[in-house]
Structure 1
Amino acid sequence: MTAWLRNSIIAVMGLCSMSAGAQQSPADWRWFDVEVLVFKHAPNDENESFPWHPPRQFEAQNDLLSAFYAPDFSAFLHALDICPEENLTRPVFCAMPSELDPYSVWYDSARIMSGFSAAPATIISGYGGDMQTQPGPFLLASEEFEFADFREQLIRRNVGTPLLHATYRTPVFNRAENYKVRLFGGRNFGPEFLPNGYPQLPFVALEPAAEHSSKQVPQLFEELESLLNRVEQQQLQLSYRDHRTPNPPPLLAARERSERPTPVWELDGTLHIYLVGNYLHIDSDLELREPQRVQFNQRELAAQIEQALQPQLDSKFLRSYRLNQLRRVISHETHYFDHPRLGLVVQIRRTELSARR
């Protein structure tokens, strides 16, 4: 390697390290205020075809709402006395030994929120923060809202139902940083549906089911006769055609009664705001989930016959409607992202630390 090439590589690496070092301090970041209003449209009679998407589980670098809905009160517990062992009932102001164990990670926001029937709040009023020292984005108070009138008009005119309204202050980096913020709200379908969209599993039976000793032969003849009649009347057509509906649910073991269901929110997804040069971009990846009755896509001949004999096998499925849109935007302008089922309104506002440095 020539001395010139070696020196060039060292210089480039030095510039990269200086650039990375400049991003270490929050005071060196470019901060913006982001107001988001997400709502679902009122039901309509339009027969628009959408794919049967299952829900997805979203994990983002920044989840402001989980900590807001289920705050970590570990520090409060450490300031309490340990609960006395002789008492079977737990007093109000004491801490269990397991909660004070430094090697026990008992705090889990998803576990806490699994008992929520819905997100505790639609209109988020945060506690604010100092962007000079804050290590990441933080929620602002509701006094910062500019979409309040628009939100009230949605409700008053029965145009849509708000699912989330929040304003947060966030640093904005380039696209490669993948600095996303998770947004969720609405109903919690976790007690009814699994994260993959299929109905929740039954609980383990407390007692073994009694065996049926009655003969099944007459019932089989009745089912066969019913099946042949439906074929003759062309009410049943067996085929291997793909109906573009979800496949039947996988065979899984029943769940324990102590098991907490994973939260599955009516609205879930991420918002990625980033800079390309000096231009702001919004990349939305949101889902609206709705329970719908579905006839599972049975490709096996035996399964189709069983489904024909037992129409109650038709089940519900948590269908997902996705809003994926990418747009270059201008700060202080209101931007609307539309979908037949879902609406997103976003405004990005500059702060005193928004300018390029």
Structure 2
Amino acid sequence: MKQLVLKAILLGTLGITATPAFAVRWFEVELIAFSQKEGAEIREDFSIETGPIPREKRLDLLTKGYNNVGHQACLSGDVKYDPRSVTERFTRQQSSWYCDDNINYVERYEKLPVIPVSEPLDHMQSMYLLAPEQLRFNAIRNKLERQGKNPILHTGWRFPDQSKKRAPNVVVYGGMKFEQPASYKYVEGGQNDSFISLLSSAPQRAIKTQGEDLWELDGTIKIHIRHYLYVTSNFDYRYLTDEGELESARMSQFTRVYSGDIHYLDHPKMGIIFQIRKFKH
């Protein structure tokens, strides 16, 4: 009798420990971000200063996808992705080159590819990017292009059922690259034993500093679940004014959504169409 009780407890314990791996629901999200067609009727002022988008708990799935596009282009012989130095290109014009898949191709882009590339995966172990052949919005993207709207990014990823506290802020960026406005910091000019330096403070010199790349679209999306699906999005859309100045328009939204429905986040400068679908449940 005692052995039967122990066996029942053991089986119950194994059942409990095995359940979470199969009980967690998984979803996939697909989105298209695009710039709105320019129109004279837009009269909103987007020059108001906004604070930086929060940077905590970020998950970047796109950079590897963009690098994969560059690596494939390099393998196909696209001269824009020739990894050789200028000297090597000049002296060894007919030679082949080696395409390193660890190269940061993103820094070479003036405009990021619309569709980042990933191998098609089908697991439920960790969050991952959807492969191009797993996307379903190609007809929608083509329709946007026919309407004169400019798709910036078409991608998606798979993710587990997560609470607001545990869900990451997935990094979303794309489009044109803009130069970061130059800034300067002042440092000591070095040792100076002249008579003048004894009468005044040490001379200083200005050093130009360069920040990270600025992309046309830059922001994050967090998707968490509490009975319903909730989407928290924060984006900066950057553009050049008629005077050639770089400005940024902020779009921040918190939305409750239903799986399977197609949703639209609207802004005078940009828009996002997205859908969250159940995955294997």
TM-score (norm 2): 0.67
Aligned mate of 1:142, from 110, 132, 147: 132
1:256-295 → structure 2 map (5 Å cutoff): 262-276=212-226, 278-292=227-241
Q: How many angstroms apart in 1 are the aligned matches of 2:98 and 2:142? A: 41
Are 1:342 and 2:258 an aligned pair? Answer: no
1:253 aligned partner, one-letter code: A
Number of residue equivalences: 220
C-alpha separation between the residues in 2 aligned to 1:187 and 1:273?
A: 26
Equivalent residues in 2 for 1:6-45, closer than 5 Å? 28-45=23-40
Aligned to 1:9: none
Alignment of 1:69 with 2:102, yes or no, is no
Q: In structure 2, how many angstroms separate the alpha carbons of the residues matched to 1:289 and 1:38?
A: 13
**1:130 to 1:39, Cα distance in 2 relative to 1, 3 A:** same
The answer (yes or no) to whether the contact 1:289–1:320 under 8 Å persists in 2 is yes
Residue 201 of structure 1 deviates from its aligned partner by 5.4
Distance 1:156-1:92 versus aligned 2 partners, 3 A rule: closer
**Aligned equivalent of 2:48, options 40, 45, 52:** 52
Q: CA 1:115–1:125 in structure 2 vs 1: closer, same or farther (change >3 Å)?
A: closer
Q: Is the partner of 2:206 in helix, strand or coil?
A: coil
Q: Contact conserved, 1:333 with 1:348, CA < 8 A, in 2?
A: yes
C-alpha deviation, 1:149, in angstroms: 1.6
Gap regions ≥5 residues in structure 1: 1-17, 74-87, 96-106, 194-198, 203-251, 295-315
Q: Does structure 2 retain, via aligned residues, the 8 Å contact 1:284–1:325?
A: yes
Q: Which runs of 5+ in 2 are unaligned?
A: 1-15, 72-86, 185-204
Match of 2:252, SS state, is strand
Structure 1 CA distance, aligned partners of 2:122 and 2:36? 36
Aligned to 1:128: 120
- The SS at the match of 1:70 is helix
Contact 2:120-2:134 within 8 A present in 1 as well = no
Is the partner of 1:32 in helix, strand or coil?
strand
Query: What does 1:296-315 align with in structure 2 at a 5 Å threshold?
Result: none
Report the counterpart of residue 312 of structure 1 in structure 2: none
**Structure-1 separation of matches of 2:46 and 2:66:** 32
Shift of 1:340: 0.8
Shift of 1:66: 0.8
Counterpart Cα distance in 1 of 2:172 and 2:183: 27
Aligned-pair CA distance for 1:177: 1.3
Greater C-alpha Rg: 1
Question: Per the alignment, do residues 66 and 279 of structure 1 end up closer, same or farther by CA in structure 2, a change over 3 Å counting?
Answer: same
The equivalent residue for 2:172 is: 183
Q: Is the 8 A contact 2:234 2:252 kept in 1?
A: yes
Structure whose residues are more often strand by fraction: 2
The corresponding residue for 1:216 is none
Distance in 1 (CA, whole Å) between partners of 2:47 and 2:111 is: 26
Deviations 1:99-148 (A, max 9, x none): xxxxxxxx785xx52332111x102343122423x3x2212222333322
Alpha carbon RMSD of aligned pairs, Å?
Answer: 3.4
**In structure 2, what is the equivalent of residue 173 of structure 1?**
162
2:182 aligned with 1:200: yes
2:208 match: 255
Please name the residue that 1:206 is paired with: none
Is the CA contact (8 Å cut-off) linking 1:184 and 1:267 kept in structure 2? yes
- Cα distance in 2 for partners of 1:254, 1:128 equals 46
Aligned-pair identity (%):
30
Q: TM-score normalized by structure 1?
A: 0.53
Q: 2:248 maps to what in 1? A: 320
Q: Cα–Cα, structure 1 residues 351 and 285, in superposed 2: closer, same or farther, change >3 Å?
A: same
> What does residue 150 of structure 2 align with?
161
